[in-house]
Amino acid sequence: MSAPSNKKFENRLVQWIDDRLPIFSYADANVIAYPTPKNLNYWWNYGSLAGIILVIMLVTGIFLAMNYQPHADVAFASVERIVRDVNYGWLLRYLHMNGASMFFIVVYIHMFRGLYYGSYKAPREILWMVGVTIYLAMMATAFMGYVLPWGQMSFWGATVITNLFSAFPLVGDYIVTWIWGGFSVDVPTINRFFVWHYLLPFILIGLVIVHLWALHVHKSNNPLGIDIKSPQDMMPFHPFYTIKDLYGLGLFMIFFMYFVFFAPNFFGEPDNYIPANPMVTPPHIVPEWYFLPFYAILRAVPDKLGGVLLMFAGVFVLYVLPWLDTSKVRSATFRPIFKQMYWIFFLDCIFLGYIGFNSPDEQLLGMKMLYWGRIATAYYFFHFLVLLPLIGKLETPKPLPSSIYEEVAKKCRAKED
Amino acid sequence: MTDNPTNTAEEIDGPRRDFLLISTSALGAAGVAVAAWPFIHSINPAADVLALASTEVDLSAIEEGQSVTVMWRGKPVFIRHRSAAEIAEAESVDTSDLKDPESDADRVQKAQWLVTVGVCTHLGCIPSGQSVGDNRGEFGGWYCPCHGSHYDTSGRIRKGPAPFNLPVPPYAFTEDTMIVIG
Ligand code: HEM
Ligand code: FES
Predicted confidence (pLDDT) at residue A6 exceeds the cutoff of 80: no
Q: Ligand 1: which residue has its CA nearest to atom 40?
A: A220
Cβ–Cβ below 8 Å for B38 and A67: no
Top mutation candidate among A38, A110, A126, A204 for ligand 1, by most atoms within 8 Å of CB: A110
Core vs surface per residue A329-353: b (16+ CB within 10 A) or e = bbbbbbbebbeebbeebeebbebbb
The CB of A211 under 6 Å from ligand 1? The reply is yes
Length of chain A: 417
Can you give the pLDDT at residue B14?
A: 82
Strand partners, A276: none
Q: Is A19 a catalytic residue?
A: no
Strand partners, B179: B57, B173
Predicted confidence (pLDDT) at residue B133 exceeds the cutoff of 90: no
Residue A220 banded pLDDT, cuts 50, 70, 90: very high
How many whole angstroms separate alpha carbon A45 and alpha carbon A242?
Answer: 10
Can you give the pLDDT at residue B3?
A: 52
The per-residue pLDDT of chain A, averaged, comes to: 95
Q: Which of A98-112, A285-299, B67-81 has the highest mean pLDDT?
A: A98-112
* Top-tier CATH class for B49-181: mainly beta
Which residues of chain B does A247 touch, with a Cβ-Cβ cutoff of 8 Å? none
Predicted confidence (pLDDT) at residue B4 exceeds the cutoff of 80: no
Q: What is the 3-state secondary structure (H, E, C) of A334-363?
A: HCHHHHHHHHHHHHHHHHHHHHHHCCCCCE
Q: Is A216 a catalytic residue?
A: yes
For A228-254, write each residue's pLDDT tens digit: 999 999 999 999 999 999 999 999 999
Least confident of A130-144, A201-215, A219-233, A401-415: A401-415
Q: Which letter does DSSP use for residue B176 in this model?
A: T
pTM: 0.85
Give the distance from residue A48's alpha carbon to the nearest chain B alpha carbon, in angstroms: 18
Can you give the pLDDT at residue A74?
A: 97
Can you give the pLDDT at residue A7?
A: 79
Residue A361 banded pLDDT, cuts 50, 70, 90: confident
More confident residue, B51 or A192: A192
Domains of chain A: which residue ranges? 1-33, 43-218+239-287, 294-325+336-396
User: Stretch A128-155: mean pLDDT, rounded?
Assistant: 97
Can you give the pLDDT at residue A286?
A: 87
User: Stretch B152-164: mean pLDDT, rounded?
Assistant: 95
User: Stretch A404-409: mean pLDDT, rounded?
Assistant: 93
Segments in A148-236 forming alpha helices (H): 152-163, 172-180, 187-218
Can you give the pLDDT at residue B49?
A: 83
Can you give the pLDDT at residue B13?
A: 78
**How many Å is the Cα radius of gyration of chain B?**
29
Domains of chain B: which residue ranges? 1-44, 49-181
How many whole angstroms separate alpha carbon A151 and alpha carbon A133?
Answer: 29
Can you give the pLDDT at residue B182?
A: 84
CATH of range A43-218+239-287; options 1.10.1520.10, 1.10.287.1260, 1.10.287.110, 1.20.810.10: 1.20.810.10
- For A78, the closest chain B residue by CA position comes to B48
Tell me the ligand closest to B147's alpha carbon. 2
Among residues B41, B81, B122, B147, the one annotated as catalytic is B147
Can you give the pLDDT at residue B1?
A: 42
Can you give the pLDDT at residue B2?
A: 45
User: Stretch B121-134: mean pLDDT, rounded?
Assistant: 91
Give the distance from residue B147's alpha carbon to the nearest chain A alpha carbon, in angstroms: 33
Distance (Å) from CA A50 to ligand 1 centroid: 8
User: Which residues of chain B from 50 to 79 reach within 8 Å of chain A, CB to CB?
Assistant: none
Contacts of A237 (CB under 8 A, 6+ apart): A31, A32, A33, A34, A35, A36
Core vs surface per residue B108-138: b (16+ CB within 10 A) or e = beeeebbbbbbbbbbeeebbbbbeeeeebbe
Residue B6 banded pLDDT, cuts 50, 70, 90: low
Distance (Å) from CA B69 to ligand 2 centroid: 19
Least confident of A47-51, A186-190, B131-135: B131-135
Residue A1 banded pLDDT, cuts 50, 70, 90: very low
Residue B7 banded pLDDT, cuts 50, 70, 90: low
Can you give the pLDDT at residue A64?
A: 98
Which residues of chain A does B46 touch, with a Cβ-Cβ cutoff of 8 Å? 67, 81, 85-87, 89
User: Stretch A269-276: mean pLDDT, rounded?
Assistant: 94
Distance (Å) from CA A220 to ligand 1 centroid: 10
* ipTM, two decimals: 0.80
Can you give the pLDDT at residue A2?
A: 45
Task: Give me the phi and psi of B77, to 5 degrees please.
Answer: -115, 130
Residue B17 banded pLDDT, cuts 50, 70, 90: confident
Cβ–Cβ below 8 Å for A89 and B46: yes
Predicted confidence (pLDDT) at residue A21 exceeds the cutoff of 50: yes
Inter-chain Cβ pairs, chain A and chain B, closer than 8 A: 36
The ligand 2 site (C-beta within 6 Å) comprises B 120, 122-125, 144, 146-149, 160-162
Predicted confidence (pLDDT) at residue A202 exceeds the cutoff of 50: yes
Distance (Å) from CA A47 to ligand 1 centroid: 5
Q: Which of B42, B48, B49 sits opposite A92 (nearest CB)?
A: B42
The CB of A121 under 6 Å from ligand 1? The reply is no
